[in-house]
Amino acid sequence: MEDITPLSNNNQEKEGAQLVEDVKANETVDPENLGAINATSETAKHMLEAAGNIAYTPEDSRRVVRMIDWRVLLSMCLMYVSQQLDKSALGWAGTFNIQEDTGLVGTQYSWLTTCVYLAELIFQPLSMYALSYFPVRYWLLFNYVGWSTVSICTAACTNFTSLMVVRTLLGIFEASIQPANFFMTQMWYTRREQARRTIAWEIANSGAGFVGPLIAYGVGHATTRIKAYQGIYLCVGGLSFFFMPLVVYLLPSSPTEAKFLSKGNDRLIALDRMKENNMGTKSGKWNWKQCWETFCDPKTYIWFLMFVCVAAPSGGFGAFGGLVTKGFGFSSFTAILTGLPSPVINSLAMLFAGYMNDKFRKRFIVIAFLCLFPIAGQASLLSIPRSKPGALLGVTYIGAVSGALQPLLWAWANLNASGTTKRVLTTSIMFTGSCVGNMIGPQLFISKEAPLYYTGLRSCLSLFTALCALIVVQGLYLMYLNKKQEKRRIDLGLPAAIRDISLMAIEEAEAYKAELTAMLRTQNMTEGQLFSHAYDDMTDWENPMFMYAT
């Protein structure tokens, strides 16, 4: 059973829902920051302090997590599928000859993908600021309406200029979705849960890669009065609007504001679960010290390089994958259908990695191992003759494991930074690396090399090899940092050999807490002392209790 040391006994008998209202009514906020935040770490801390002793069972914790999943995770999955359908539609349209239908020449088709990520890169700082200033819910819904509208409008485009305009607008509106999803995942879930939920909404993203080709295949057969690409964009944009009312109903703003947590102590349970993260929840103030620390942290630059290396092949194959497969000798319809197994392979690879990560808790080894598959796939595509389409298609599926790498890197990276400003800035830098990679990727596939695209394939092979090396370097560096954290705890008189509860399953965590309590008792300490900074806006460098996930 969970037990929190009482910090204030005056309000212990109040109901959880009424207590939340009391805290909100009495909380003092600087007028200059009224617009900057709706749910802060400070608010969560005040609620728990005012509540005093909160007792709840593992089953209570699981029940609250299920409620959060049905609201938060489901809404994230729906929005992520929607934006991925809109973004990927160009690749399916390319397989059905959008180049000829709109008069694209030279590298213009490549630039229709590059401009999306260039727009995301330019507008991403504004998006990150908006996420810290506005309620997450309203900012996301605004952009959701934007990218859905743009997707439908793409059907009206008939030349390169108009396509560039709508694709750029698509990048502007979609600049928020991935950072917002990571932000919400960190806000609502423990670190162990974060990795699984990130994989969950990335699997939903893979679902778009399965549904989209089926839509394109059906539209390609059905369209007579309009072009195939126009039918594709009308369908994916319409599907996006179809799910919008459900997302509006489901999506909450924060744990301290969510209406579905108003029953009993549900809100307090949701907040208390987060203390073991030692990452706080959210702060609406920009911290320049954390900003400086982010740029002094070697991890930041390794994450950036990793995301460039993993995103460039993704961006290239996202735009040209169908054309590469079509170059094996398949028709447009067959090429579309051959893409269906790839998202299934991605999902299976992510589930395998998630299981192995939970079992062995050495993420860098698992992710580096998965890198070997796209390395082998790219090398095989370069060596197998084009007269063997079956073999070429087979090694394409081996290389399809690469689709699992970026989600796994996001899940890993977001476990290894603390402090609101540092987390936001680190995510921003990783997102920048992803945008840079996605901009570079399509330019590596040169139109005059069609259908072989050897420059693109060789570049992807080099990038996956570099990625594997960077993953190993980062994993070893994080192990070194954990050793430094142990030394810091010894110097502060804290226990050194502490395991990371936030990465444990509920039952394992309960058993370890009993063991930890007994150990602390021998040192005249309490569990509350270990988590005294859990809701403080401290970075991983500042908090000696922070443990890096290797």
Work out the end-to-end distance of the chain between its first and last CA atoms, rounded to an integer number of angstroms.
29
Which of these, 134, 118, 120, 219, lies nearest to 183 by C-alpha position?
A: 134
Q: What is the CA radius of gyration of the chain?
A: 24
56 beta partners: 2
- Indicate whether 466 belongs to any domain: yes
pLDDT at 40: 47
Secondary structure, 3-state, 141-167: HHHHHHHHHHHHHHHHCCCHHHHHHHH
CA distance 392 to 389: 5
Which of these, 418, 328, 311, 427, lies nearest to 381 by C-alpha position?
A: 328
Degrees, nearest 5: CA angle 463-469-472: 140
CA distance 387 to 321: 18
Residue that is written with structure tokens 């990452």 in the block: 279
pLDDT at 270: 82
> 359-389 burial, b if ≥16 CB within 10 A, otherwise e?
eebebbebbbebbebbbbbbbbbeebeeeeb
Secondary structure, 3-state, 55-118: CECHHHHHHHHHHHHHHHHHHHHHHHHHHHHHHHHHHHHHHCCHHHHHCCCCCHHHHHHHHHHH
> 141-152 burial, b if ≥16 CB within 10 A, otherwise e?
bebbebbbbbbb
DSSP state of 502: G
In the chain, how many domains are there?
1
Amino acid at 124: Q
C-beta separation of 335 from 325 below 8 A: yes
Residues of the chain with pLDDT under 50: 1-40
DSSP state of 507: H
- Indicate whether 533 belongs to any domain: no
Q: 252: which residues sit within 8 A by CB, 6+ positions away? A: 71, 72, 137, 258, 259, 260
- Indicate whether 389 belongs to any domain: yes
C-beta separation of 151 from 237 below 8 A: yes
Alpha carbon separation from 188 to 68, 88, 279, 287 (Å, rounded): 8, 29, 11, 22
* CATH number for position 380: 1.20.1250.20
Per the structure block, which two tokens stand in for 328? 């094996």
Per the structure block, which two tokens stand in for 143? 């952009």
Per the structure block, which two tokens stand in for 24? 């909100």
- Indicate whether 159 belongs to any domain: yes
Residue that is written with structure tokens 């996605």 in the block: 438
Q: Cβ of 323: how many Cβ atoms within 10 Å?
A: 21
Per the structure block, which two tokens stand in for 127? 């998006």
CA distance 169 to 362: 40
Q: What is the tens place of the pLDDT at every residue in 399-448?
A: 889 989 998 998 899 888 788 788 878 888 998 899 899 889 888 888 88
Which of these, 242, 262, 199, lies nearest to 411 by C-alpha position?
A: 199
C-beta separation of 474 from 324 below 8 A: no
> 161-198 burial, b if ≥16 CB within 10 A, otherwise e?
eebbebbbbbbbbbbbbbbbbbbbbbbbbbbbbbbbbb
pLDDT at 282: 52
Full residue range of the structural domain in which residue 473 is found = 59-483
CA distance 74 to 142: 18
CA distance 386 to 452: 9
The helix/strand/coil state of 381 is: helix
CA distance 331 to 428: 40
pLDDT at 12: 35
Phi/psi-derived region of residue 419, left when phi > 0, alpha when psi is between -120 and 50, beta in every other case: left
CA distance 299 to 550: 12
pLDDT at 472: 97
- Indicate whether 98 belongs to any domain: yes
Q: Which helix (H) or strand (E) holds 254?
A: none
- Indicate whether 222 belongs to any domain: yes
pLDDT at 24: 43
pLDDT at 203: 85
pLDDT at 19: 41
Q: Cβ of 423: how many Cβ atoms within 10 Å?
A: 25
- Indicate whether 506 belongs to any domain: no
- DSSP output for 259-293: GGG-STTHHHHHHHGGGGGSS-S---S--HHHHHH
